[in-house]
Amino acid sequence: MERGGCLGPTERARWELWLLWLCRMSLAVVFLTASLEKIAHPAEFAKAVSNYRILPAVAVNFFSLVLPWVELLCGLLLLAGQWTRSAALLAALLFFLFFLAVSAALVRGLDIHCGCFDTTAGRKVGVQLLLEDSLWLLLSCVLVFRADDRWGWRQVLGPLAFPWVKGAQHAGRGGQAPGS
């Protein structure tokens, strides 16, 4: 620590990395948890989507089948730390769409379950859900602008999981490492 109890640049950077990791893991858990219930019960999720009365009837089933897999992919990418900014951008887009859907339901006075996690008897649409979606949207945006792939599986496991990669990098130079 520097004088006056302020964090120096190194400590600040270290804290930022851990906070970004925490944001990423939190978002990953949200998407993974939400997607698994929807994948397991597609008919119930389709009913929840239909209750919003936003999509035409012909689009409800397609949307209900695709969205959980998009959420699963987003959650897995965030968990693995791969394409973090792209996954965070996708998360932000999804939370923005969720925010719009919940807002539309509230404005129209619909008394429906959100279909977020528990597709059978989930939470009711309400202001608290809007606030939560806003918080998740904010965390997603933080990752879009501040995250990197430093904690991705390639950086953590790369040398262990792919020991031959280092040798392959030097194959074009007659097997010599740079600077040799």
Residue 9 has pLDDT above 50, yes or no: yes
81: left (phi over 0), alpha (psi -120 to 50) or beta: left
Strand partners, 124: 113
Are residues 31 and 70 in contact, defined by beta-carbon separation less than 8 angstroms? no
Give 125's DSSP letter.
P
Does residue 180 or residue 123 have the better pLDDT? 123
Are residues 89 and 144 in contact, defined by beta-carbon separation less than 8 angstroms? yes
Q: Dihedrals φ, ψ of 73, to 5°? A: -60, -45
pLDDT (tens digit, 9 = 90+) per residue, 34-62? 999 999 999 999 999 999 999 999 999 99
Range list of H helices, 5-126: 9-40, 42-51, 57-80, 84-107
SS3 124: strand
pLDDT (tens digit, 9 = 90+) per residue, 81-136? 888 999 999 999 999 999 999 999 999 999 998 888 776 667 789 999 999 999 99
